[in-house]
Structure 1
């Protein structure tokens, strides 16, 4: 196994359900494994993309059309691994920057440089991994999870990762009509 040194930011990911109901009515909390499985399902359908600054829509085709020529972040891949009795979910994010249209390269022997340009539909991209540690078997799941975010320059930021996860889960909750009963004492 090759070892790559990268700067990693340690952080927490919290699963917290919210509702417009009063504080005494707490919506159910879902595990990270369940929620990240939902985002993975949306990735497989081609929907796990957030177009930054674009007009949102409930129709995915319209949302994608509105997102053209906007920066975006997407979940490119995800998988789980088990090690030392723990399960980890690895998320691989990709971010596109509409302003980046070319890349500088340099020959390593004669040091001559040049620009490589993409076609009109190609833009600059950066990628990063996020690793989420799930509770070990039998451990209490309180909805708070340690995670490590690979630090890279570009649009793969904690803010954009959070926005993607939050918006993807909201879309799923609306589409699946996730509601819960409120029982009031008379």
Structure 2
């Protein structure tokens, strides 16, 4: 890298719940926008996530720690604002904000990135097809009983799993029945 190349401060933000390869690819795109990118990643506050998106699987600390361990992130900001203002841009000396180009609406604004776009400080990234936190949660819910059985097998109590007594014993019995049948076949 040429020492004379100016470092460009790029900011990317998100919820980053259940951090997955789609998130990592977004940050990789951001990091590779310029030859000398310093990537600041904002993790939205728990309060804003619940207000604008709903319940997250991971809390703010867990989401932040996940992002901190991504090799593309140079710095992590928590809590990050849902809507970026000029003060935030100036305080963090941000040259560009990078995010996918879908308008993120709230009750107050049509696009959380409108200011950055207006100022010419917005760089669009592409979403990774086939992966999202919503998809992962959907798969878990679809196969809910399989995951409950798995955790019963690992010794979790019905209270830890938030299960009623009937459902717990029904799944536990099914698991024991299947295990017994497998042993007989072996």
Question: By percentage of residues, which structure has more strand?
Answer: 1
Question: Scaled by the length of structure 2, what TM-score is found?
Answer: 0.23
Question: Scaled by the length of structure 1, what TM-score is found?
Answer: 0.23
Question: By percentage of residues, which structure has more helix?
Answer: 2
Higher-RCO chain (CA-CA 8 Å, sequence separation at least 6):
1
